[in-house]
Amino acid sequence: MTSDGYDVVAEAYANYFPGMGPEEPAELEALERFVAEVGEGGLVLDAGCGTGRVAEHVRSLGLRCVGVDLSPGMLAMARRDHPWLQTAVATITHLPIAAGSVDGVMFWFSTIHIDDRDLDRALLEAARVLRHGGAVIAGFQTGDGPREVGEGYREFGLDVRMLRYHRQVARMVERFEQAGLWVIESIDEPPTKEGGDGIGVVLGRL
């Protein structure tokens, strides 16, 4: 299971990626546009918040944030490194959040571990918990189909197996629209190094 995998890698993930170092400028700019859409002081749900590094980032840009994640190990790191962040163990396909109660939802590299059916569920859940006019952003690796990505961690002596679902940006745009989310912009960044992954970001509004 993916959450078990993240429990194994949680401490390494938190220590290697304490901040937004892995993000390309285009991704950071997209997050800034999301923050502007949400509005100063708005409340954001970080859906698949992991160790809390992105919650910390949007907090530094003026938002309030709460997080959910399936992995208790990742949330333990969020509590260690970002003790202000309120979190709950939950799946992004069934959010423990009241309807219309948040101004924004972030799926920052968290829909990458769910199949298309669950992606639709997660986006419908985002639409349910957002106030009217609220913003939603998804970041993900582009391409097609599931890949086994545990190898990257096994190099560090961490024995995990994880499937990652790569998706074309057009496909994500289509799924947003299907869930009733109006797409404001989408980004399709080619890989910056050989053998790397392309990155997609879709920003929408209810």
Ligand X SMILES: C[S@@+](CC[C@H](N)C(=O)[O-])C[C@H]1O[C@@H](n2cnc3c(N)ncnc32)[C@H](O)[C@@H]1O
Binding site for ligand X (CB under 6 A): 2-3, 6, 48-51, 53-54, 69-71, 74, 91-93, 108-110, 113-114
Closest distance between ligand X and the C-beta of residue 48, in Å?
Answer: 4
Which pair of tokens denotes residue 150? 């545990």
Residue with CB nearest ligand X? Answer: 50
Please identify, using beta-carbon distances, which residue of 106 and 130 lies nearer to ligand X. 106
| Greatest Cα-to-Cα distance within the chain, rounded to the nearest angstrom | 46
Please identify, using beta-carbon distances, which residue of 71 and 142 lies nearer to ligand X. 71
**Residue 199 near residue 189 (C-beta atoms within 8 A):** yes
Closest distance between ligand X and the C-beta of residue 97, in Å?
Answer: 13
Please identify, using beta-carbon distances, which residue of 73 and 134 lies nearer to ligand X. 73
Please identify, using beta-carbon distances, which residue of 115 and 144 lies nearer to ligand X. 115
d(CA 130, CA 122): 12
Cα 43 to Cα 12, 28, 85, 144, distances in angstroms: 29, 19, 12, 33
Closest distance between ligand X and the C-beta of residue 23, in Å?
Answer: 9
d(CA 37, CA 40): 9
d(CA 50, CA 45): 12
Closest distance between ligand X and the C-beta of residue 114, in Å?
Answer: 5
User: Which DSSP category does 190 fall into?
Assistant: P
Please identify, using beta-carbon distances, which residue of 82 and 113 lies nearer to ligand X. 113
Closest distance between ligand X and the C-beta of residue 68, in Å?
Answer: 6
**Residue 141 near residue 164 (C-beta atoms within 8 A):** yes
Closest distance between ligand X and the C-beta of residue 117, in Å?
Answer: 12
d(CA 75, CA 55): 12
Residue 184 CB contacts under 8 Å (≥ 6 apart), including other chains = 33, 37, 135, 203, 204, 205
Please identify, using beta-carbon distances, which residue of 2 and 101 lies nearer to ligand X. 2
